Amino acid sequence: MNVRRSANGRPLRIAVVGDTLLDRDLEGEVRRLAPDAPVPIVDHDHTTVRPGGAGLAAALAAGDGAEVRLVTALADDDAGRELADTLAERRVAVTDVGLAGETPEKIRVRVQGRALLRVDRGCEPGRVGAGTAEARAAIGWADAVLVADYGRGVAAEEALRSAIGGAIAAGVPVVWDPHPRGARPVPGALLVTPNDREARGFAAEVDGDGPSGVIARGEALRERWEATWVCVTRGRHGAIAVGATGPPLVVPVDPVQVGDPCGAGDRFASRAAEVLAAGGDVPGALRSAAASASAFVAAGGAGGADGDAGLPRPLRCTTGAAQDVVARVRARGGTVVATGGCFDLLHAGHVGTLQAARALGDCLVVCLNSDASVHRLKGPRRPLVGERDRAAVLSALGCVDAVEIFEEDTPAEVLRRLRPDLWVKGGDYSACELPEAGVLAGWGGRAIVLPFLDGRSTTRLIQEAALHAV
């Protein structure tokens, strides 16, 4: 768990205000179609229950090590009590203002980590109770306030809105993730984060597509909502933010080959709130939020989160994401290829080997030595390029389907988890000399050697650079 702390060393205090839902994932496998209709039959394996909506945003911040108080409305029913229990398991302190009605549920049927069907229950919003003194105190206690509005009434409650306004007046950063059916953001919010579809609805009078249209809508909404910043998130296209002064800010995202986008907006907003709570500025918060949201999607989104909200490090493609690639290829009878190395100063020899390796099968997973691993293997002055940037460069290559960073000196443990059909290495080896060959033999995999292009090596590049620097 990456513990987030304030300037004085204590854990960050995050107040999350908004509507909480219960997400229930029914996981299974499909092996046949129904005899009475051309629909898949899901053989149920297990069910996972987790908080959704503002509850997910709170769980994500708590998973980062922040101290979190969630101001929300829970119904007095079985689903509401189950939701309260799962929030407590994730170290989220709940301040409940009460909900007259049903606890809303989103039920997803998932196969191999991907959603097949979703059923919503309790769709009609209930009546939210009045903001209590305890709820108002939770907002005043925080280093930052995140409003995760899901349009069910919590963010519209007048006493809570007044408390949020008081926090703004006191200089507390407020991040507002709006909803089309939700309340207008309280004036003075530091950052409002609609997605592109929402921004089009909020500013329907503004025409235009592409970045220019996004900027125009962002400017209109910033003025309408009296916000300091409006950041429009655009999925794989990144985000564009407009502030009170200066030019618009474009925030790129890390490329994600596969992944479930469920919960990405909550991950984006919660990470931005954490950075702002720690004293960071908005541009820095947006860059961190974009990297975290991308990594979150690569790890399987909300459905891939574990009990601590499963937060992968930015630009580190987790085994879960790599295994998703492997599972999809195997499901259609394809060949899984893996390769590995430090890839410090990527050069033509590396690219040629990676392209040749990808041509041997239907996907290529690169097992990348971490910075600590390279340091032990190559010496105190290596790597020259950090693991984050090395992973980014590799991920940008069209021949690479997933990147897996490992901490050990060899990729043996990663290989045992992924079980590739082929392990490809470039260099002056014979297959029998590769230490990984014995590991591959455990499941019938094979080790293959591809030669580097003559004269291409990281060591030689470093030597030549040093020579020219003299």
Q: Active-site residue numbers? A: 266
Cβ–Cβ < 8 Å for 206, 216? yes
Secondary structure (DSSP) of 23-57: EEEEEEEEEEE-TTSS-EEEEEEEEEEEEEEHHHH
Point out which residues pair with 43 in neighbouring strands.
29
Alpha carbon 65 to chain centroid, angstroms? 16
Collapsing DSSP to helix, strand or coil, 112 comes out as coil
Cβ count near 319 (within 10 Å)? 18
How far is Cα 231 from Cα 178, in angstroms, rounded to an integer?
11
Point out which residues pair with 347 in neighbouring strands.
none
Collapsing DSSP to helix, strand or coil, 172 comes out as coil
186 Cβ neighbours under 8 A, 6+ residues apart: 147, 161, 164, 165, 168, 174, 176
166 Cβ neighbours under 8 A, 6+ residues apart: 139, 140
Tokens linked to 107: 């039920």
Nearest alpha-carbon partner for 326 in 450, 255, 417 = 417
Cβ–Cβ < 8 Å for 347, 458? yes
Burial of 100 (0-12, 13-18, 19+ CB in 10 A): exposed
Burial of 45 (0-12, 13-18, 19+ CB in 10 A): exposed
Residue 414 sits at φ, ψ, to 5 deg, of -60, -45
* Beta-carbon-side half-sphere exposure of residue 193 (alpha carbons within 13 Å): 30
Give me the residue label for tokens 């950075």: 275
